[in-house]
């Protein structure tokens, strides 16, 4: 994970300002002769703001939080979406919708040679959401291709890390910190070999399941695992086939049909999750997915 450094920034010519996702309480300010880190409390998480200038004067944390919530200072959620992270908006049939922003991250490898492979279905899901919801992926930030928009009244960030799979946490952690997204609203989308091909599963939390990309994300979220995930089944390697070769292989024509159908269903699942949370609809969705290819 990204650790807090206490070295003098002038000792490292390549040092740049960054934001570190730190859900648990920590020391708010370090020695001003070294890297300055100030902690903000917002949207249920602790956020540390790193400042490279050793003599920079920082506003008091309490005042900074109030100003950030009003969208006046900082690079946080107020400046981008202009909403209070805890605000509610009218939804369908008069039901109030939680407008806390979501960060939806698809895992995969950048580059044309990986397009259409099993390990890149997370990227494909983000592309499907982008097209369906009209959210353009047109920004590069924190080592990720980023799109900013909304689903209904809920602000959404779509992200495709450009770091390669095993280092994707280097993009997810800073994005979550910069936009002040609470852990419960970071949705990770990735391939899952323990599920049959084309079968989806929504989970409110979990471990890494030996998935290196998920493991890296957990490391960069301070070891926290309590974020939701949408798993896309890709099946297991046949026979004694090497796992790496299997993951970097493209789908067969029949498998491709199942995955394409799953991607369409996944877009609706994400929309339901964002607008309604983990309610009975998600339970029914998972049950339907479990048996959709079950042969009697």
pTM for the predicted model, two decimal places: 0.70
119 among known catalytic residues: yes
Greatest Cα pair distance, the chain, in angstroms, is 71
Angle, CA 244 vertex, CA 240 and CA 245 arms, to 5°: 70
Helices (H), 167-211: 169-178
Question: Taking the CB of residue 195, how many other CB atoms lie within 10 A of it?
Answer: 19
Question: Tell me, what's the pLDDT at 75?
Answer: 40
Q: Which of 257, 254, 238 is nearest to 246 (CA)?
A: 238
The sign of the dihedral angle between the CA atoms of 204, 268, 264, 267 is negative
Q: Which two tokens stand for residue 233?
A: 């089944």
Write the DSSP assignment of 41-57 as a string of letters.
EETTEEEEEEE--TT--
Q: Exposure of 280 by Cβ count < 10 A (0-12 exposed, 13-18 middle, 19+ buried)?
A: exposed
Predicted confidence at residue 124, as pLDDT, reads 97
Q: What is the pLDDT of residue 21?
A: 57
State the pLDDT at residue 47: 38
Residue of 49, 119, 185, 211 with catalytic role: 119
Tens of pLDDT, residue by residue over 107-153, are 999 999 999 999 999 999 999 999 999 999 999 999 999 999 999 99
Q: What residues in the chain have per-residue pLDDT under 50?
A: 1-18, 24-86, 296
* Domain at 89-290, CATH homologous superfamily: Peptidyl-tRNA hydrolase (3.40.50.1470)
Confidence (pLDDT) at 281: 77
Query: Which pLDDT belongs to residue 282?
Result: 80
φ/ψ of residue 262, rounded to 5? -65, -35
Nearest to 104 by CA among 71, 130, 140: 130
Residue 91 confidence (pLDDT) = 54
- Kindly report, residue by residue over 192-210, the tens digit of the pLDDT: 999 999 999 998 888 776 7
Q: Kindly report, as residue ranges, where domains of CATH 3.40.50.1470 are found in the chain.
A: 89-290
Structure confidence at residue 126 (pLDDT): 98
Show the tokens assigned to 193. 């070999």
Q: At what angle do helices 121-133 and 253-276 cross, to 10 degrees?
A: 60
Provide Rg for the chain, Cα atoms.
20
What pLDDT is recorded for position 20?
54
pLDDT number for residue 294: 57
């Amino acid at each position: 994970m990204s650790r807090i450094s206490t070295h003098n920034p002038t000792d490292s010519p390549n040092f740049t300002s960054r934001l570190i996702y730190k859900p648990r309480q920590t020391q708010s300010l370090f020695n001003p002769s070294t890297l300055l880190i100030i902690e903000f409390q917002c949207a249920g998480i602790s956020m540390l703001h790193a400042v490279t200038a050793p003599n920079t004067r920082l506003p008091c944390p309490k005042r900074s939080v109030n100003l950030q919530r009003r969208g006046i200072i900082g690079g946080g959620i107020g400046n981008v979406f202009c909403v209070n992270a805890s605000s509610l908006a009218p939804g369908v049939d008069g039901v109030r919708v939680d407008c806390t922003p979501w960060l939806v991250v698809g895992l995969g490898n950048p580059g044309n040679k990986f397009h259409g492979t099993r390990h890149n279905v997370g990227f494909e899901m983000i592309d499907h959401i982008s097209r369906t919801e009209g959210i353009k992926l047109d920004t590069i930030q924190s080592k990720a291709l980023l799109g900013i928009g909304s689903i209904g009244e809920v602000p959404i960030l779509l992200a495709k890390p450009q770091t390669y799979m095993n280092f994707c946490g280097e993009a997810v952690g800073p994005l979550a910190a910069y936009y002040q997204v609470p852990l419960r609203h970071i949705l990770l989308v990735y391939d899952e070999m323990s599920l049959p091909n084309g079968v989806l599963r929504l989970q409110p939390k979990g471990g890494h399941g030996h998935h290196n990309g998920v493991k890296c994300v957990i490391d960069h979220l301070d070891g926290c695992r309590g974020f939701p995930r949408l798993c896309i089944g890709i099946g297991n390697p046949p026979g004694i086939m090497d796992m790496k070769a299997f993951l970097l292989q493209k789908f067969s024509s029949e498998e491709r049909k199942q995955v394409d159908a799953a991607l369409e269903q996944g877009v609706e699942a994400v929309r339901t999750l964002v607008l309604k949370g983990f309610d009975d609809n998600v339970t029914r969705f998972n049950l339907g997915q479990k048996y959709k290819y079950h042969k009697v």
